[in-house]
Structure 1
């Protein structure tokens, strides 16, 4: 019989719980086969970015080689959507005489339903399905408040997370990152036994090149180590400046599971073993960002409504959003007249990535200055980001829109001009992405419409008055909150 490892957003050999368990639980003569199933229609429904799908395709080619070094073949299949996955897996288990399927858990509703249906199909044929918590360092449901409920605010979650982590290390004593399986069997013999093993990597989905992002294991490992050794110490000082190469740029690898959160934390703790006791350090600041990613997964697991396009705070359903396609289009295309906004949005379209500080600024601008629904921004990001991740993207957008956890309903309204002046004071980032502003003096780079030479620019004037927009946003949220109280939604 064979063991089948079903890969999803865990495209790695190192520190992969399902893969390790399959290899450890096999009998000596039993082969292990890996599987990836592409679902283009599901990707379309989830607004997956073409650049991310290209990234996945390229990563699968590398992963096939890494698995082959362990004598594990990789089968890549394509079906329309999640509904077609159970039949696909069942057919493969029959074809390759599989008696046990292994996979790592995903925490979203559609993925959970898919896995339940797969389990039912396999059980009907007496085939075992083992699902492991692998995506988080501490699995959802273990970090709880004194009442035994999931946390709704980040800072107390982080404090409790650290306590649970330390208890976990004391009780288990095992290494944070799991080892890579040893070489198994003989791939040539396996190919002889199953001559119809197939592996296709070209999906029926539009793609945009991701060639600027390396996908081989060594390059990914070096990027992580270089950041920890050379940049993490100054992360707190440099992370907010988009013209400075001060962030890790590891989010695309985390999004597809080419890198695990445990690997990141392990590398950080190896270099800075005392960082958890030094909250002012750059290392702790990056650790904080890793835990934010974990927090949003725990939050989505505990609140399934977040997967159903619902706000975390019910009263924000009463916010009266504007339905203005002209304003939305200007934001999407980087033509708002606010240089830091437009440079960020043009960076996104050109590269499929955006600096984290800029993600907060542009999200605040869309939801507060333009009063356009956060879901429009959430979908635009997912459809363009190489590191698109539903839990983090939803959490970030709801945070900025004041509909989610840590909401700060009336006060989180970023001033795009002062944000630009603070985090891109010389306009280096702005000039890189907005060529028409290259000759504007530093003093006016974030308010070019006030420059005496503004009439020579082919650049739009601001599409909204921030001061007035801020007051309107605060009043709009205040009314929604009052309405929510009347309706019992607060």
Structure 2
């Protein structure tokens, strides 16, 4: 018996239950379908990274990964008939668009579409309240999530490869040219790179994760958001290793996996969260519009706001396709609550540039900062970009790395360059606004909405 394994967000061999289910049934043709709709919707950084990840996976498979370009509902039925496959195996896609696509493919296949596992520790929709609903608050979700538990990892990549009886599917379609934007450096792609990064985390930074994870000046985060987005590593692999580490730091890291599952669960139950605020917090007339919005977005996206921590984060995004999580919160708060630009505009920019751009994580994290989502930060919490810099980048190393105009300013003075003579940083812009005044305007608009 021959079956297809349709790779999607599981670009790895190890800990891949769907791939093992295919292998258990007989010979396997591994295939990736490059959907033009998804390709055109992705930003250049994600396209470039995806091509590199696919090449890494193809290398693991000794060049046997079949690439087909086209719509899955057309490509896969044709391929099934071509190789006389008796089933198509996939990891379940729980996102609204992915579920619709899979239903259309299933209707067209003529053979079973077998779903095994998902990109999450606990598949969205599985953890429910006593009333059978999705959780709206993270802490009780995490308790129920922990109680539900998850399977042990499937065989690793070496064991998986030894088990696979691979079928030759013929000549692959060429992958598109996909260079990252000029000046952007991509991290190493593929399963082996992801496992190496996780091993490095376990050997060092994990021990201090609970105390250092908010420090963008330190290399204390895993940067696994990228391989998790593409499925180059499964969260279950991470959780299995964390289970052997009994510490506050390991539990803090486990909590980040739980947040990832929580956001996917929220989107599963409330698909509108992709684009629509789940809670209204401000009057419609309080948002920037037209030229005001365009000018605000231009300064923010270019990292030219005059607030060093904000600008450093936005420039890191342009240079790496990634940004430290604490800084993501600061730049998001600045856009929404200082510049009065709707969160959807910021989320769109992030999705255009982030290599780890993932709909449930990106949109729901933006809603968290904006105070509009499930278990969100209250809208009246406004991040002070100066104090955040002084607290989490105390010596200014992160700012000086990404804002070269400020490299000659020592220590934490780099967070308030406007207090120095203009000659100290002549090429750096003055602050584009008064944070105190904009914070007051935000709080007044919030109170006005509550009065209405």
Q: CA deviation at 1:199?
A: 2.4
Q: CA deviation at 1:315?
A: 5.8
Equivalent in the alignment of 2:230: 256
- Is the Cα–Cα contact under 8 Å of residues 61 and 201 in structure 1 kept in the other structure? no
CA spacing shift, 1:261–1:319, aligned 2, 3 Å = farther
Equivalent in the alignment of 1:133: 117
Answering whether residue 54 of structure 2 is matched by residue 60 of structure 1, we say: yes
CA spacing shift, 1:201–1:240, aligned 2, 3 Å = farther
For residues 88-127 of structure 1, the aligned pairs below 5 Å read 88-122=75-109, 125=110, 127=111
- Is the Cα–Cα contact under 8 Å of residues 3 and 88 in structure 2 kept in the other structure? yes
Equivalent in the alignment of 2:362: 393
Equivalent in the alignment of 1:435: 404
Equivalent in the alignment of 1:305: 272
Long gaps (5+) in structure 2: none
| Aligned mates of 1:356, 1:50 — CA distance in 2 | 21
TM-score normalized with structure 1 length: 0.86
Equivalent in the alignment of 2:254: 287
Q: CA deviation at 1:368?
A: 0.5
Counterpart selection for 1:225 from 196, 199, 213: 199
Runs (4 or more) in structure 1 with deviation over 6 Å come to: none
- Is the Cα–Cα contact under 8 Å of residues 54 and 190 in structure 2 kept in the other structure? no
Q: CA deviation at 1:410?
A: 3.4
Equivalent in the alignment of 2:13: 13
Q: CA deviation at 1:431?
A: 0.9
Equivalent in the alignment of 1:215: 189
Equivalent in the alignment of 2:43: 49
Equivalent in the alignment of 1:181: 160
Q: CA deviation at 1:156?
A: 1.6
Answering whether residue 64 of structure 2 is matched by residue 73 of structure 1, we say: yes
Q: CA deviation at 1:184?
A: 5.2
CA RMSD in angstroms comes to 2.2
Counterpart selection for 1:459 from 428, 439, 443: 428
CA spacing shift, 1:55–1:318, aligned 2, 3 Å = same
Counterpart selection for 1:142 from 106, 126, 142: 126
Q: State the secondary structure of the residue aligned to 2:114.
A: strand
| Aligned mates of 2:256, 2:370 — CA distance in 1 | 19
CA spacing shift, 1:290–1:186, aligned 2, 3 Å = closer
- Is the Cα–Cα contact under 8 Å of residues 334 and 345 in structure 1 kept in the other structure? yes
Counterpart selection for 1:152 from 133, 136, 146: 136
Q: CA deviation at 1:314?
A: 4.8
- Is the Cα–Cα contact under 8 Å of residues 409 and 477 in structure 1 kept in the other structure? no
Q: CA deviation at 1:480?
A: 3.0
Long gaps (5+) in structure 1: 169-173, 276-280, 484-490
| Aligned mates of 2:196, 2:78 — CA distance in 1 | 39
Q: Which moved more, 1:312-321 or 1:127-136?
A: 312-321
| Aligned mates of 1:426, 1:140 — CA distance in 2 | 41
- Is the Cα–Cα contact under 8 Å of residues 336 and 370 in structure 2 kept in the other structure? yes
Counterpart selection for 1:320 from 286, 289, 308: 286
